[in-house]
């Protein structure tokens, strides 16, 4: 293996199996890493990084086999991969999914974030701790969002997701040495963004046309630009512009990544898209690879999405059978290799540069930008990254045209939009509606308010977006209208709060999530979120209300928003500030929604 000093003189090529047992599917025989010299301004500080390849897939494989990371296995990895043990331990201790001590026989994880909290998670957690607190075989852990907000309060037993009502059954099965396997939720819904809904045998039709030369790459980029499709993961960067930027880069190789690491409380739409439309996600990825010149692509998926990962694996098997991925796709000479990279955990990995750090085998801390991933991404190479939903919309836009796509919106918006809807609604689920649909209309689609309650507030785009009050129910769910109202479209995760809830307590719950998920790289986020949470928690315990919040919170919000490196810190106190604004002035406390996690070229 080349030393890190060699990177300043020449490219480093390292080929190593990504899994200690190899790839049973044959889609990838290894991981080839070609790193450019550090000649891009802003990346000089990366010269001391270990050159790879990433040990995270190997660590994931060890944990899946043993349930934790035994020291003897780490020593074996260190010897086999010629990597110092301190490097391995420095990486693995950053990620919450990796366990360094043996777990109890039964692992019971219970979500305590907003959507579950709104459904009495605190009471259920207390009951479970009372029931299993002295049980030597069961470990009860409070965890951040599991991405199962539609079945809140959500749990995972032996990493299998379920509603809390199934805990008894699943714990007893695990105690007996049996794991109840949960399959991906597939409703059979024919979402309107699927051009193959009437005939599934015709799926990948757009990809076949491109491979046959019927649809030029330049036309694809122009169609995406004309459609107005923007990144659906939060930042809203124009998709056609991003694809064109990566395609224009001369450095090779290039890479492409599906960011399927949605981890924000209330966000589960990408999970459902992968479960029901894996063909659209993978077709969008493969189209992006062809257009930009990338030969290797990944779906970076959160580890809590095991059932959905299995669906993707099956779809990749189908692609291989059809010779639509491999070393020579359809006899065209095109090389398209796709694999799945399982996230080692942490919300921060939804930020595109932190995700790349994880894939390279480092601690998942965001990079300073610029340079952006489209120019300097994975292994320093041009990298195309979009969210699950963004890739899933590409096939129908190319099949039916930009004008058709634009006509699907309403109230001045364009296209279709997936929303995860949770909280105080009758039917929490994922819905695909015309962009520009109002919150009032979306709540009606979700069955209306639960138990005849009334809307007190809602977050339109996820935990990182500001709360809005009932006066904003008729604001179109689109980028500009929501920004003008003091919030953001975000990732399209609607959390609805009714009149029975202490809204300041709800915002403090959201703040706890950001405090827990801070990577710790920058002081404003690490220290400021902790300080603010302590202040608000103590106030609530004393019976205080929004009227009792002093200027310290306003000062901390401003400092985090202006000085944090990435979007996590910038938005951490936004929801709290919006609640204070609703109390003080009947509107948002800040004139503009803080930057979404990921920045201006994000997929997250």
DSSP string, 21-41: T--TT-S-S-EEEEE--S-ST
CA 523 centroid distance within chain: 24
Across all residues in the chain, what is the average pLDDT?
89
Q: How far apart are alpha carbons 330 and 318 in whole angstroms?
A: 14
Q: How confident is the model at residue 71 (pLDDT cuts 50, 70, 90)?
A: very high
- Residue whose pair of structure tokens reads 């689920």 in the numeric block: 429
Q: Residue 391 in contact with residue 299, Cβ under 8 Å? A: no
Fold of 200-400: Rossmann fold (3.40.50)
Q: How far apart are alpha carbons 438 and 455 in whole angstroms?
A: 14
The predicted structure's pLDDT at residue 7: 30
Domain ranges of the chain: 4-92, 106-175, 200-400, 407-601
The predicted structure's pLDDT at residue 436: 98
pTM > 0.75: yes
The predicted structure's pLDDT at residue 188: 85
| Residue 80 CB neighbour total at 10 angstroms | 11
Q: Indicate the DSSP class of residue 298.
A: E
Average pLDDT over residues 191-215: 94
Q: Kindly report the length of the chain.
A: 604
Q: How far apart are alpha carbons 49 and 12 in whole angstroms?
A: 13
Q: Is the pLDDT of residue 541 over 50?
A: yes
CATH class as words, domain 407-601: alpha beta
Q: 3.40.30.10, 1.10.10.10, 3.30.70.360, 3.40.50.150: which CATH number matches 106-175?
A: 3.40.30.10
The predicted structure's pLDDT at residue 49: 63
Point out which residues pair with 154 in neighbouring strands.
Answer: 163
The predicted structure's pLDDT at residue 44: 54
- pLDDT tens per residue across span 465-485: 999 999 999 999 999 999 999
366-373 contact pairs (CB < 8 A, 24+): 366/519, 366/521, 366/565, 366/566, 367/43, 368/42, 368/565, 369/42, 369/599, 369/600, 369/601, 370/41, 370/42, 371/40, 371/41, 371/42, 371/43, 372/600, 372/601, 373/601
DSSP 320-368: HHTTSSEEEETTTTEEEEEEEEE--S-GGGGSHHHHHHHHTTS---PPP
Number of H helices, E strands in the chain: 22, 15
Burial of 101 (0-12, 13-18, 19+ CB in 10 A): exposed
- Taking CA atoms, 432 is separated from 190, 194, 223, 276, 442, in Å, by 10, 11, 22, 12, 10
- pLDDT tens per residue across span 100-139: 999 999 999 999 999 999 999 999 999 999 999 999 999 9
């Amino acid at each position: 293996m080349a030393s890190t000093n060699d990177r300043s003189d020449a490219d480093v090529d390292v080929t190593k199996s990504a899994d200690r047992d190899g790839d049973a599917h044959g889609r990838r025989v290894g991981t080839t890493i070609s790193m450019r010299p550090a000649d891009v301004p802003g990346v000089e500080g990366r010269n001391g990084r270990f050159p790879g390849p990433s040990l995270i897939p190997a660590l994931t494989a060890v944990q899946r086999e043993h349930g934790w990371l035994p020291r003897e296995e780490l020593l074996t990895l260190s010897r086999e991969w010629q990597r110092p043990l301190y490097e391995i331990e420095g990486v693995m201790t950053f990620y919450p999914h990796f366990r360094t001590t043996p777990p109890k026989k039964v692992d019971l994880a219970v979500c305590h974030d907003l959507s579950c909290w709104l459904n009495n998670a605190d009471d259920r957690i207390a009951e479970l701790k009372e029931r299993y607190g002295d049980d030597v075989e069961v470990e009860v852990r409070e965890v951040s969002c599991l991405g199962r907000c539609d079945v809140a309060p959500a749990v995972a037993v032996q990493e299998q997701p379920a509603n809390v009502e199934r805990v008894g059954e699943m714990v007893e099965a695990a105690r007996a040495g049996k794991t109840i396997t949960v399959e991906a939720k597939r409703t059979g819904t024919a979402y309107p963004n699927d051009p193959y809904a009437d005939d599934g045998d015709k799926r990948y039709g757009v990809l076949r046309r491109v491979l046959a030369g019927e649809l030029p790459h330049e036309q694809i980029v122009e169609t995406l630009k004309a459609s107005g499709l923007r990144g659906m993961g939060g930042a809203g960067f124009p998709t056609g512009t991003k694809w064109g930027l990566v395609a224009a880069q001369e450095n090779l190789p290039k890479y492409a990544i599906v960011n399927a690491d949605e981890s924000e409380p209330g966000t589960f739409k990408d999970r459902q898209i992968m479960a029901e439309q894996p063909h659209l996600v993978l077709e969008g990825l493969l189209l992006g690879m062809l257009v930009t010149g990338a030969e290797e692509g990944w779906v970076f998926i959160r580890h809590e999405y095991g059932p959905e990962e299995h669906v993707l694996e099956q779809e990749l098997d189908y692609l291989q059978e059809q010779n639509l991925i491999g070393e020579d796709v359809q006899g065209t000479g095109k090389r398209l290799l796709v694999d799945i990279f399982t996230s080692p955990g942490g919300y921060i990995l939804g930020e595109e540069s932190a995700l790349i750090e994880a894939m390279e085998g480092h601690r998942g801390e965001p990079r300073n930008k610029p340079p952006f991933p489209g120019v300097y991404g994975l292994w320093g190479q041009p990298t195309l990254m979009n969210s699950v939903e963004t890739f899933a919309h590409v096939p129908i836009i190319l099949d039916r045209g930009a004008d058709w796509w634009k006509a699907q919106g309403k109230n001045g918006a364009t296209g279709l939009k997936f929303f995860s809807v949770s909280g105080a609604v009758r039917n929490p689920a994922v819905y695909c509606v015309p962009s520009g649909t109002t919150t009032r209309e979306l709540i009606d689609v979700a069955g209306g308010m639960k138990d005849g309650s009334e809307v007190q507030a809602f977050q339109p785009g996820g935990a990182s977006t500001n709360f809005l009050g009932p006066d904003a129910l008729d604001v179109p769910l689109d980028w500009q209208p929501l920004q003008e109202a003091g919030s953001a479209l975000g990732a399209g995760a609607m959390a609805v709060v009714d009149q029975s809830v202490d809204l300041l307590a709800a915002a403090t719950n959201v703040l706890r999530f950001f405090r827990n998920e801070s990577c710790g790289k920058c002081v404003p986020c690490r220290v400021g979120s902790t300080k603010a949470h302590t202040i608000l928690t103590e106030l609530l315990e004393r019976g205080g209300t929004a009227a009792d919040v002093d200027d310290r919170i306003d000062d901390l919000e401003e400092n985090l928003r202006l000085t944090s490196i990435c979007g996590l810190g910038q938005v951490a106190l936004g929801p709290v500030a919006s609640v204070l604004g609703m109390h003080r002035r009947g509107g948002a406390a800040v004139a503009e929604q803080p930057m979404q996690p990921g920045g201006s070229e994000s997929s997250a």
